[in-house]
Amino acid sequence: MARLAYLFDSSKCVGCHGCQIACKQWNQEKATRTTFNGSYQNPPALSPDTRTIMRFYENFEQDTIPQLNILKVQCYHCGEPACVKACPSGALSKTDKGITAVDPSKCIACGYCHSACPFTVPAIGKHVNKCDMCLSRTEHGDDKQKTSTPACVKTCPAGALEFGDRDALVAKAHKRVEWLKSRGHKDANLYGEKVLGGLGVMSVLKYPPASYGLPPNPTMPLELFVWKDLFNPMGLLMLVGAVGAAAGHYLLALRQSRDDHHHHGGDESKGKEEMKG
Amino acid sequence: MSPSFGRGAMTNSIPDVANADVIMVCGGNPAENHPGVARFINMAREKGGIVISVDPRYTRTSVLSDIYAPIRPGTDIVFFNALVNYILTNKKYFEPYVKNYTNASYLLKPEFGFKDGYFSGWDDAKKKYDYASWQYQTGPDGAPLTDPTLQNPDCVFQRMIKFYARYTPALVEKVTGMKQDLFLKIAAAYSATGVPDKSGTLLYAMGLTQHTKGVQNIRAFAIVQLLLGNMGLPGGGVNAMRGEANVQGSTDAGLLFGNLPGYLAAPSAAAHPNLKTYLEKITVKNSFAENSPKFAVSLLKAWWGDKAQPENDFCFDYLPKFSRPHSFMDIFDDMYAGKIQGLLLWGMNPLVSGPNFEKTAQGLEKLDWMMGIDLFESETHRFWKRPGANPKDIKTEVFLLPAASMVEKDGSATNTSRWLQMRYRSVDPIGDCKEDGAVMYMLVQELKKLYAADANAVYPGPILDLTWGYGGEHYNADEVFKEMNGWDVKTKQQLPGFATLKADGSTTSGSWIYCGMYPPAGNLAKRRKPDKQGIGLNLEWGWAWPMNRRILYNRASCDLDGKPFSDKKYLVHWDAAGKKWTGIDVPDFIGTRAPSDPLGAAPFIMVPYGLGRLFAPGGMTSDGPFPEHYEPMESPVKNAMGSVQNNPLAVTYKSDRDKWAKTGGDEFPYICTTYRVAEHYQTGNITRKLLTTTEAMPETFLEIDPELAKAKGIKNGEYVEVSSARGKIKVKAFVTPRLQPMVIDGKKCHVVGIPWNYGFFGEDPAGLANTVTSANMLTPQAGDPNVRIPEYKAFMVNVRRA
């Protein structure tokens, strides 16, 4: 079956927060009390109540036009999802359409997915919370009722979000990148075509990924291969064993170091806020 | 726009923005305030279009632009007039269009002139103009004399060359802060649309209108569009993006204080003592507005039915007559003076939206009663509990009726594209909430009862004789639109269009511009067929006034013979064999008037002799026939144009709460402007009551450039105190490089800005803490002389760490 994907075109996005709010409404997530924190960005991070946010990056050097770079942040639905590999309980899985799906009833809230994710996306409350490409719409929706596209795509007024066959979107995105280059954006690029087995959410960017707080070359943590190769057959059972405890400890340590790393990376890219679970 | 083209409405449509080759966004921020427009801006760009964003701030709209230029708030006329000068000097205008479709060739009276900041006729003692010299030279038949070669020194074109010569690129940099080379880049890009196969559009909103010269700001760009031949084309026009979904509909229905429905003039006691004088004065010869009496009489018939007869002037005396303007600011100034007893507030939150918060609040304290009809309790409804007020001292009695929301009622919205679209109740109103139509119905029925029962009632006729049906308490929106369209009195048949209206009382029409939307075939505003193939005219989606014409003045897309100037910009043409105008749009012209007929090549049909007005004669724009730059009422600098600092006719008030910053003074050294954010709707009385939208934009903020922040020791996200001559508030600072200091007349100036969507009551942090964070604590009551819109967009403040 053809792989589904989103295409987010940052050069068309106006950062209106429509996608963020539509996501909350459709998925019946709680709105939280926030305060102004020095940016248009709010809520400040993905959370057990928030599956997608807009991040804003403001750059300016003397005598250049200020940049207001907007990124829609959510689960990237990697082709090779580290979270699925890391998940010991089977709560995370990959559907045949390429959606990284969540089954909250199976989740034990261990947080390994958050640690393993190259973007530290999955948020852990009572259970894991992250974008599931609106499975309730994309798998069970109705074209006629116009409920077959994810809520965020459906609501985008600027036409910055598209959803559908991944190959078609890649082709479209390349054209768009060429178009941006022809309009003088020499650094225009498509983020996520090849990395991590190809992302299921690709972003057209006017500037290099770092200007949007994105790691240029995200990789699956090496430790995860060790963990999976050594211990995978034992699955959940080993969590109760000594080996499992050691491995678990290792992953939690990794989570800590990755969060630190991300914080640092954020400063470099002049990001206002960090993605944190 | 009305003085320039004949009608005051947005000329094109939102989807039509996609057809533009160059989009000038100035005084508007569609990405944040009209996000739906962003889609069409993106479409235009993909087709090769260029977007120019001119704004004091780099906004979320600027993200979509190819050229961004900062501009000092309140100096748009300098920028636009310099654009006109550039077009004239470099001969970038579309000559056949200027010669044939504008009044460029009209000869002006030799005594007309401009000197020392005033146009001719200024009376310094009376502080007003005598408009006698602002006129054309006319022949014996009353028609203007012309020079088709445009060489006569008194012709409008030559007078323009003289008047505009002062507006140089150097002046742009000196006054607006926009660098000369950037201005020249914009001028070159925009004036490239002065050819037949290209079109450019202006998208604007309150950033141009909310000034003491708001009307002249629009005039200034309308003149650019006429010179470049951008009116009447797909992707052209002057496009006012309305501030909310049904602003167009409400003004169409007569909401503005100076208008009856359909933009017929509201009668005044002095000028219109009786129907005869009224009809004479609204008749405009040699234009379509010579039919105005038919529209006015049909309106009176719609309102007072069989009681309206020729013998009683069709109940003309029942219409209220004004003796002075009753605009928003005038009402609140009167209220502050204690001249108003009661206030009916229907879906409005003026304490947050009006200028000079404290003056508004103290005015409300002087009311005997106030009745609000709204979804939620607003700041205005609880003005007596506002921070600093003592409820014990306030005697105003406040009532609040619960209204049904837009999904709980039937009705329509006329969007900014002039499209009427019916919409429908999807759920029943909760609790005691009622549809506005039902509330209005019951209110009038009650008034009728009270008047009927009172033998001593003063002048009960207007209420008792009012036709009032609409399905009764089970109010039916369809009935309202039947009435607005109108019918034949004898046959009760719905009318097919306003051409069938009569002045003899045999027809009705509640708003003549809507006549044609509800013909015998049914309500055309219910249609929902999208235009998938064409250029986005969407002729069968809803219904656009007038007569479903989607692009106004589209006759101007053709040459004198009725042939399109360019196939690329095709809308209509003259079908010589069929002897009629035809095309992909409904012709905005008299359908059978041949190009060779009298006025057959005069596309602006609402203007006498049908030519677009580069020069607005006779004081129709009271402050000048050409736009001249004056500084905002509060400014950091003296007017570089001359000794007249402000618009000499600017509206100001004289109460003890009307205070001003000194020009160039140290007390309030920074320029401040106000705006909205995408996440909140108007005063936030819906969106700050919902946590979903409040979460995304929880608090107001003052945007400050990094240099000013550094100088003042202000850090991003920390509290600052912002003060003006009217009041002060404490809000968080948003230090952002999207604002940059500018050099004005050799002096470094800082612009700060603040959203006005916030008040002191809601789910937002300030609302929960009962703290006033309204931007309108700072703004002055000053207004444009033509329409009395307040100057929210440019005033002076001080900023310090709080």
For the segment A121-144, what is each residue's pLDDT rounded down to a tens digit?
A: 999 999 999 999 999 898 877 777
Closest-CA residue to B766 (of A41, A36, A43): A36
Residue A30 lies in a domain: yes
> B183 to chain A nearest CA, in Å?
15
Mean pLDDT of A203-207: 97
pLDDT value at residue A1 = 59
Domain residues for the domain of A249 are: 4-268
What is the rounded CA–CA span in Å between residue B620 and residue B786? 9
Q: Do B738 and A179 touch (CB under 8 A)?
A: no
CB A17 to CB B697 under 8 A?
yes
User: Does residue A273 form part of some domain?
Assistant: no
CA distance B558 to B9: 22
| Whether the predicted pLDDT of A267 surpasses 50 | no
Q: Rounded CA gap, B185 and B189, in Å?
A: 6
Residue A268 in this model has a pLDDT that exceeds 50: no
Q: Does the CB of A250 have a partner CB in chain B at under 8 Å?
A: no
Give the integer Cα–Cα distance in Å for A262 and B4. Answer: 57
What lies within 8 Å, CB to CB, of B454 at 6+ separation is B460
Cβ atoms of residues B512 and B547 within 8 Å: no
Q: What is the model's pLDDT at position A144?
A: 76
Amino acid at B739: L
Residue A276 is assigned to a structural domain of this protein: no
Q: Is the pLDDT of residue A243 over 60?
A: no
Specify the pLDDT at position A140: 79
Name the pLDDT band for A81 (thresholds 50, 70, 90).
very high
User: Which percentage of chain B shows pLDDT scores above 90?
Assistant: 98
Question: For residue A165, what are the β-bridge partners?
Answer: A4
Chain A residues with CB inside 8 Å of B66's CB?
Answer: 183
CB contact under 8 A, B32 and A35: no
Q: Is residue A275 part of a domain?
A: no
**Smallest Cα–Cα separation from B106: which of B605, B612, B557, B603?**
B612
pLDDT of A177 reads: 98
Q: Which residue has the tokens 């291969």?
A: A225
Subunit contact B58:A66, Cβ cutoff 8 A: yes
Across residues A156-172, what is the average pLDDT?
96
pLDDT at A247 over 70: no
SS3 state at A21: helix
Question: What tokens were used for B542?
Answer: 């809803």
Report yes or no on A109 lying in a domain.
Answer: yes
Residue A122 lies in a domain: yes
Chain B interface includes A157 (CB < 8 A):
yes
In a domain, A277, yes or no: no
- Cα separation, B613 vs B625, in Å, equals 9
Residue type, B343: L
CA distance B553 to A9: 36
Give me the sign of the Cα torsion angle B723, B726, B728, B729: negative
Number of domains in chain A: 1
ipTM associated with this complex: 0.93
Give residue B280's pLDDT.
Answer: 97
Check residue B591 and report its DSSP letter.
T
What's the CATH number where A171 sits?
3.30.70.20
CA distance A12 to A213: 18
Structural domains of chain B ordered from first start: 2-108+165-243 (3.40.228.10), 328-461 (3.40.50.740), 651-801 (2.40.40.20)
Residues of B in contact with A15 (CB under 8 A): 31, 60, 63, 678
pLDDT at A223: 72
Q: Which two tokens stand for residue B724?
A: 């003006």
How many contacts, defined by CB atoms under 8 Å, are there between A and B?
Answer: 116
Mention every residue, 6+ apart, whose C-beta is less than 8 A from residue B721: B728, B729, B730, B799, B800, B801, B802
B486: left (phi over 0), alpha (psi -120 to 50) or beta: left
Contact A111, A89 (CB under 8 A): no
Q: Which among B594, B613, B604 is positioned nearest to B553, based on CA atoms?
A: B604
Q: Is the pLDDT of residue A259 over 80?
A: no
Query: Is the per-residue pLDDT at A232 higher than 90?
Result: no
Task: Please tell me the predicted confidence (pLDDT) of residue B604.
Answer: 97
First to last CA, chain A: 32
B795-801 vs B782-783, strand pairing mode: unpaired
pLDDT < 70 regions, chain B? none
Res A274 pLDDT > 90? no
Q: What local confidence, expressed as pLDDT, does residue A61 receive?
A: 78
Quick one: pLDDT at residue A2? 87
Percentage of residues in chain A with pLDDT exceeding 90?
A: 70
Tell whether A165 is covered by a domain.
yes
Q: Quick one: pLDDT at residue A225?
A: 63
Tell which A residues from 134 to 153 touch B, by Cβ distance under 8 Å: none
Report yes or no: B425 and B408 within 8 Å, Cβ to Cβ.
Answer: yes
Subunit contact A66:B61, Cβ cutoff 8 A: no
Is the separation of the CB atoms in A6 and A171 below 8 Å?
A: no
Query: B228-252: b or e for each residue (b if 16 or more CB lie within 10 Å)?
Result: bbbbbbbbbbbbbbbeeebbbbebb
